[in-house]
Amino acid sequence: MLCPFCSFESTRVVDSRLTEPGDSIRRRRECAGCGNRFTTYERVEGPVVSVLKRDGSSERFDVQKLLGGLARAAGKRPVTEAQLEELAESIAAAARRAGSEVRAEQIGDLAERGLARLDPVAAIQFASVYRDLADLDELDAVVRRFKEEPLAGADQLTFEDAADGAPVPSDSGSNIGRSP
């Protein structure tokens, strides 16, 4: 493993932990050259998951693209990089369990619900882009849903029968997390 900071070839593992879904190992490493620390993940290479986009096209699921969107939404909010990585890995694991193809809306729903659990303001920022909110009334409706809907069970980020195209379950039966 090369150090991402100085490209030195010798690193040591400082800490190893099983990630929450249990499908990968998170390792904190320290470079013997520069002393910087960084995180790596070790996981079994699973099946290729395709994301069916709203326009009908399909692309390979990319956890780094998801993590980038989560990070933009949580920018300048009290959410750590480790929390975002854990959320992205949890969504990726749910996508892998769901089968070879998932809808982009389902991934967006899980991202929105996961962010709501971490920081409701970050979830609202994510929703404003993800849902392409046109005006303040639509934003107000999203805020009201976050206030009214309990987040119980939101820590279980799973698709409900995603292979059949069923919607992601909502915690109270409202339309939060579903496409407008």
| pLDDT higher than 60, residue 130 | yes
Instruction: Report yes or no on 149 lying in a domain.
Output: yes
Under 8 Å between Cβ of 87 and 118? yes
Instruction: Report yes or no on 86 lying in a domain.
Output: yes
| CA distance linking residue 10 with residue 174, whole number of Å | 52
| pLDDT higher than 50, residue 9 | yes
Neighbouring C-beta atoms of residue 54, cutoff 10 Å: 11
Residues 82, 34 share a domain: no
pLDDT at 180: 36
Mean pLDDT of 144-159: 64
Domain count of the fold of the chain: 2
Residues 33, 119 share a domain: no
Q: How confident is the model at residue 71 (pLDDT cuts 50, 70, 90)?
A: very high
Instruction: Report yes or no on 137 lying in a domain.
Output: yes
Residues 159, 82 share a domain: yes
Residue range of the domain that includes 57: 48-164
Beta bridge partners of 136: none
pLDDT at 75: 93
Q: How confident is the model at residue 123 (pLDDT cuts 50, 70, 90)?
A: very high
Mean pLDDT of 96-125: 92
Instruction: Report yes or no on 180 lying in a domain.
Output: no
* pTM, full prediction: 0.62
